[in-house]
């Protein structure tokens, strides 16, 4: 198990385990202890690698599994005494085969238990080779490593970068979007980024002149994102698609340009992609069907979950002896072989790039004392974001506090799986056949305090920007950003808007530390006053008959 926050150490540890031939299980040390304990036990991990800053929590969750903090002085001294020659086959315990497991990444599971996806070395090598060429990564490239090590796209960042001899720029821990990430990209002259549309949308492309390739994956997005970031001839924009079970990516678009349809592209080299009906028969062009993926990149299956593996990894009817993965995604294929994403065929959703089984959240909610029934859905908020909203029915005689229910879920599940809203119902609407009628569920209810109007200029600014970012009509002093449905990406956008409005960079953690708009405004007010920074007052000046060109405009004469 590798439980190291994104850093130089996380890169070195992952690379070292891969070179040794062992299988690594990346785990976010910020996950709840119960989830980490399950992953350790389920995976059969024999060693936990971490760093001193999180070693205590990792050791508590690892139980009897030995824990090594790679940055401890004694460990560093041992490593310095080892040979730096390349690892050979003779150094490994046994020979390494292409079909052997390279890593196991846990994804959300519908039974309430996460499931470990086992990916082979052949699959890893195939996707890295194909995408390195497709996205033009070479020795002169500077590839950004910004994804969490527990998110499979992070392994693509490292793989295409190292295999091409490129420079890999590791974003500081805690930086995941907004102005801070834009500063990293600009200051480090990053040329290639791989990220979710939500993270990309939190940044301003202005000033990122060295950024040549932008690849988004993990969730759907609007054409406006392409319009903002695509610069034909100077910056290429790609949309990629792929479940963890197909080794990171299965399809990728050609370069997308403004006002063109947003598609997930065609199958990458070495991958077979088919649009089939419920009887595994190909559907005609333009007709919606389920996407199946075949080829060496298809994962070996779910660790220890033989029934689920058999259900999702099915026989390939077009290649005897081969398998294909049933994605659960609905697509349509055009005459040019390009796929257009339509939606999910089951109750999985993608929130901020994470694929989530809603049933896992329901299972955790149902375990909360006093909850008799729970159902979770993905909903579109007024702000345009996707969010998880849950509905619970209390047991007889029990009065449930939605805030307490959310807090209980947060003790078990990672933050991206905690519902933005919990609504208490007397009963759940059902269809005539007795199934939950999701279409009849009421609009989600977010916790809103009794309204107290903001008074000072900073309070007014904070309240207005929170309302704008979250798409709510009115925000008062006692309202909480989190209770109103705020998440990390929304916080990043809020920080960007407040920074632009107040002329002072607000830290993202401050947004979550503040229990109310009033407290957030007070923190911002104190920080602004302490920094002695205010918004520059703009003064009108006489406009010349011919406005001089900017440096960027002058450069266009030579491009």
Q: What is the 3-state secondary structure (H, E, C) of 389-429?
A: EEEEEECCCCCCCHHHHHHHHHCCCCHHHCCCEEEECCCCC
For residues 405 and 424, membership in a common domain is answered with yes
For residues 496 and 522, membership in a common domain is answered with yes
Q: State how far the Cα of 143 lies from the Cα of 158, in Å rounded to an integer.
A: 8
Domain assignment of residue 165, yes or no: yes
For residues 475 and 436, membership in a common domain is answered with no
pLDDT at 203: 87
For residues 405 and 462, membership in a common domain is answered with no
pLDDT at 36: 92
Lookup: tokens for 126: 């195939």
Predicted TM-score (pTM) of this structure: 0.73
Q: State how far the Cα of 358 lies from the Cα of 379, in Å rounded to an integer.
A: 12
pLDDT at 433: 44
Other CB atoms within a 10 A radius of the CB of residue 4 amount to: 26
Domain edge (last residue) among 296, 314, 346: 346
Q: State how far the Cα of 218 lies from the Cα of 240, in Å rounded to an integer.
A: 8
Domain assignment of residue 124, yes or no: yes
Domain edge (last residue) among 290, 325, 346: 346
Cα dihedral value 266, 270, 276, 279, nearest 10: 180
pLDDT at 113: 83
For residues 387 and 341, membership in a common domain is answered with no
pLDDT at 533: 43
Domain assignment of residue 18, yes or no: yes
Domain assignment of residue 377, yes or no: yes
Domain assignment of residue 451, yes or no: no
For residues 179 and 308, membership in a common domain is answered with yes
The whole domain housing 71 covers: 1-92
Pairing mode, strands 301-302 and 115-120:
antiparallel
**Sequence-distant (≥ 6) Cβ neighbours of residue 113 within 8 angstroms:** 38, 42, 360
Q: State how far the Cα of 144 lies from the Cα of 438, in Å rounded to an integer.
A: 40
* Residue carrying the six token digits 């925000």: 475
For residues 258 and 146, membership in a common domain is answered with yes
Q: Are 458 and 465 in contact (CB under 8 A)?
A: no
For residues 371 and 333, membership in a common domain is answered with no
Q: Give 9: exposed, middle or buried? Use CB within 10 Å, 0-12, 13-18, 19+.
A: buried
For residues 469 and 522, membership in a common domain is answered with yes
Eight-class DSSP state of 246:
G
Q: Are 53 and 129 in contact (CB under 8 A)?
A: no
Domain assignment of residue 82, yes or no: yes
Domain assignment of residue 292, yes or no: yes
Pairing mode, strands 323-333 and 339-344:
antiparallel
| Cross-strand bridge partners of residue 272 | 294
Mean pLDDT by 10 residues, the chain (559 residues): 94 90 91 91 95 94 94 92 83 85 87 88 94 96 93 93 96 87 96 90 90 91 87 96 95 93 94 94 93 96 95 95 94 92 76 74 88 85 75 89 90 85 86 66 74 88 90 84 81 88 82 87 70 52 79 69
Domain assignment of residue 241, yes or no: yes
For residues 159 and 226, membership in a common domain is answered with yes
Other CB atoms within a 10 A radius of the CB of residue 356 amount to: 24
Q: Are 176 and 28 in contact (CB under 8 A)?
A: no
Lookup: tokens for 138: 């070479």
For residues 433 and 473, membership in a common domain is answered with no
Domain edge (last residue) among 315, 346, 377: 346
Cα angle 269, 214, 182; round to 5: 150
pLDDT at 384: 63
**Sequence-distant (≥ 6) Cβ neighbours of residue 494 within 8 angstroms:** 465, 466, 469, 481, 486, 511
CATH at 520: 1.10.1200.10
Of 189, 187, 130, 128, the closest CA to residue 161 belongs to 128
Other CB atoms within a 10 A radius of the CB of residue 427 amount to: 7
| Cross-strand bridge partners of residue 170 | 145
**What end-to-end distance do the CA atoms of the chain give, in Å?**
49
Q: State how far the Cα of 282 lies from the Cα of 294, in Å rounded to an integer.
A: 14
CATH at 69: 3.40.50.980
Q: State how far the Cα of 59 lies from the Cα of 29, in Å rounded to an integer.
A: 10
Question: How many domains does the chain divide into?
Answer: 4
DSSP secondary structure of 199-267: HHHTS--TT-TT--EEEE-SS---HHHHHHH-BTTTBEEEEEE--GGGSS-SEE-S---TTS----BEE
């Amino acid at each position: 198990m590798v439980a190291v926050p994104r850093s130089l150490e996380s890169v070195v540890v992952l690379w070292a385990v891969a070179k040794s031939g062992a299988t690594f299980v990346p785990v976010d040390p910020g996950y709840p202890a119960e989830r980490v304990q399950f992953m350790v036990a389920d995976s059969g991990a024999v060693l936990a690698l971490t760093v001193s800053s999180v070693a205590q929590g990792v050791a508590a969750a690892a139980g009897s599994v030995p824990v090594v903090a790679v940055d401890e002085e004694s460990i560093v001294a041992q490593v310095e005494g080892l040979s730096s020659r390349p690892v050979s086959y003779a150094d490994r315990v046994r020979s390494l085969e292409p079909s052997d497991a390279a890593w196991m990444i846990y994804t959300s599971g519908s039974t309430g238990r996460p499931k470990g996806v086992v990916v082979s070395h052949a699959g890893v090598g195939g996707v890295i080779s194909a995408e390195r060429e497709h996205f033009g990564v070479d020795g002169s490239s500077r590839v950004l490593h910004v994804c969490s090590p527990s998110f499979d796209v992070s392994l693509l960042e490292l793989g295409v970068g190292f295999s091409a001899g490129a420079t890999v720029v590791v974003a500081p821990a805690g930086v995941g979007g907004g102005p801070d990430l834009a500063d990293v990209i600009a200051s480090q002259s990053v040329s290639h980024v791989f990220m979710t549309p939500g993270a990309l949308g939190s940044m301003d492309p202005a000033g990122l002149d060295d950024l040549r390739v932008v690849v988004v994956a993990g969730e759907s997005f609007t054409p406006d994102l392409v319009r903002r970031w695509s610069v034909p001839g100077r910056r290429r924009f790609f949309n990629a698609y792929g479940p963890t079970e197909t080794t990171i990516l299965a399809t990728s678009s050609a370069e997308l340009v403004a006002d063109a349809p947003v598609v997930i592209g065609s199958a990458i080299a070495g991958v077979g992609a088919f649009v089939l009906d419920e009887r595994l028969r190909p559907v005609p062009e333009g007709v919606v069907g389920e996407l199946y993926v075949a080829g060496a990149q298809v994962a070996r299956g779910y660790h220890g979950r033989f029934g689920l593996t058999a259900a999702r990894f099915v026989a390939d009817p077009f290649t005897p002896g081969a398998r294909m993965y049933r994605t659960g995604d609905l697509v349509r294929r055009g005459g040019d072989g390009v796929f257009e994403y339509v939606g999910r065929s089951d109750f999985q959703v993608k929130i901020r790039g994470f694929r989530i089984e809603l049933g896992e959240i329901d299972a955790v909610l149902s375990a909360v004392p006093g909850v008799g029934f729970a159902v979770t859905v993905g909903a579109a908020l007024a702000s345009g974001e996707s969010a998880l909203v849950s509905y619970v029915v209390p047991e007889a005689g029990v009065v449930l506090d939605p805030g307490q229910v959310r807090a209980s879920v947060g003790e078990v599940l990672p933050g991206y799986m905690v519902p933005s809203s919990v609504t208490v119902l007397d009963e759940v609407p059902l269809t005539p056949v007795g199934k939950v009628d999701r279409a009849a569920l009421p609009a989600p209810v977010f916790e809103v305090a009794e309204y107290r109007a903001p008074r000072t200029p900073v309070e007014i600014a904070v309240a207005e920007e929170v309302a704008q970012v979250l798409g709510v009509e009115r925000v008062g002093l006692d309202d909480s950003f989190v209770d109103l449905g705020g998440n990390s990406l929304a916080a990043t956008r809020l920080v960007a808007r407040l920074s632009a409005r107040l002329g002072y960079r607000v830290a993202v953690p401050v947004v979550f530390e503040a229990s109310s708009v009033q407290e957030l405004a007070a923190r911002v007010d104190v920080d602004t006053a302490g920094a002695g920074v205010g918004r520059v007052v703009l003064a009108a000046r006489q406009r010349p008959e011919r406005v001089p060109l900017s440096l960027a405009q002058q450069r266009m004469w030579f491009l």
